[in-house]
Amino acid sequence: MKCIINRRAKFSASHRYWLPELDEPENQRLFGLCSRFPGHGHNYELYVSLEGELDKYGMVENLSTVKKVIKEEVTSQLDYAYLNDVWSEFQETLPTTENIARIIWQKLAPRLSLVKIKLYEHPELWAEYQGKDMEASLTVKTHFSAAHRLALPELSLQENTEIYGKCARVNGHGHNYHLEVTVVGNIDSRTGMLIDLGALQQVIDDRVVEPFDHTFLNKDIPYFAEVVPTAENIALYIAQILRSPIVELGAELDKIKLIESPNNSCEIYCRQSVVDHSQAQTPEAAIAV
C-alpha cells in the first residue's frame, strides 16, 4: 500500500524581479514593486511530499533522513540568502515562488521520492510543483463578507426549514468567506512567472471581491435571485465567472475553494469541467465538501 508523507521546512530569503536585458520602465511594467532595488524578502514555508510503500519499520522514508536532505540541498543554502545569486538556475529564470518550487524539486528529486513541492511565499500566496516539466500551479487567497438566505421560493418557510435548517430564516445570515483561486500553467523560461500575478489579483477583485463584498447575495447578485446561494453554488458561480478571464491571462483555472466557516468549505475542480448550473443535475459530483 502506497502512502504519502509530508515534511515542513522554513527559510527566509530575499529576491528581486529584474531582467538585465530590459530597461527600468519595462521591468517596472512587468514586475511592479517587485522590481525595486535591492529587492524584498519573505518568510517561506516549504512542504515536501514523498510517496512510497511502507517498509518493515512502518515508514515511507526515515524522517531524520528527509530532514537532513532538505537541509543540505535547500534550507542551508537558501536561508538568509539573496535568491537571484544563490543558485545558477535563477540567473536563467527568475526566483518567483513557482520557479523556486520547481528548482527545489530538481535539487531534491535525486535523493527523495517526491510527489509534490508546495511553497508558501506568505499565507495568501503559494505555489505547487509536481515534476511536470515547466507546469506549476499558483494559489491566491482572498476574502469577502456577505449575507445570504438558503430557501427555494416555491417552498413554504416550514418546507425550507426542513431542508436548510436555520439557514432558511427569512432575514438571512452572514459569513466572512475565504476564497482560494488556483491557476495552472507553464512557467515562463525567462520571467519565472506562469501568470501576471497583479493581473490575476485584479481579475479576482473586479469579478468577485468587489461585487460580492458586503452584499446580500440573494438580492444584490442577480444570479442568486434564481439560484440558492449555498457555498457550493457560490463556488460554482465564481468558477464560471473567472474561467475565461484567467484563460485570457495565459493560464487555466484549476480549483476554487470557498471556506464559509471553519467547519464548512467546498472545492470545485475546474480543469475537468466547470458545470453550468442550468445543466447540472448533481453538482455535488464536482464538489468536495
Q: What is the pLDDT of residues 90-114, one digit of tens each?
A: 999 999 999 999 999 999 999 999 9
Question: Is 260 annotated in the active site?
Answer: yes
The tens digit of pLDDT for each residue in 224-272 reads: 999 999 999 999 999 999 999 999 999 999 999 999 999 999 999 998 5
Q: Say if residue 124 is in the same domain as residue 152.
A: no
Last residue of a domain, one of 112, 130, 148: 130
Last residue of a domain, one of 110, 130, 150: 130
The active-site residue, picked from 98, 260, 266, 267, is 260
Specify the pLDDT at position 272.
59
Q: Say if residue 76 is in the same domain as residue 160.
A: no
Please state, for a pLDDT cut of 90, what percent of the chain lies above it: 93
Q: How far apart are the first and last CA of the chain?
A: 26
The active-site residue, picked from 124, 135, 167, 178, is 167
- Quickly state the pLDDT bin for 288 (edges 50, 70, 90): very low
Torsion of CA 100, 104, 106, 111, to 10 degrees: 180
Can you give the CATH number for the domain in which 265 is found?
3.30.479.10
- Alpha carbon 199 to its chain centroid, in Å, reads 15
Distance CA 189, CA 134 (A): 8
Give me 118's grid cell.
Answer: 508546495
Q: Which of 52-56, 137-141, 188-192 has the lowest mean pLDDT?
A: 52-56
Strand-pairing partners, residue 175, are 146
Q: Say if residue 44 is in the same domain as residue 166.
A: no
Q: Which domain holds residue 76?
A: 1-130
The tens digit of pLDDT for each residue in 165-198 reads: 999 999 999 999 999 999 999 999 999 999 999 9
Global pTM exceeds 0.85: yes
Question: Is 167 annotated in the active site?
Answer: yes
Q: Say if residue 142 is in the same domain as residue 88.
A: no
Q: Say if residue 162 is in the same domain as residue 184.
A: yes
- CA neighbor of 125 nearest in space, from 197, 178, 77: 197
Q: Say if residue 192 is in the same domain as residue 225.
A: yes
- Round the average pLDDT of the chain to a whole number and report it: 93
Query: Which residue type does 9 have?
Result: A
The active-site residue, picked from 40, 122, 173, 214, is 214
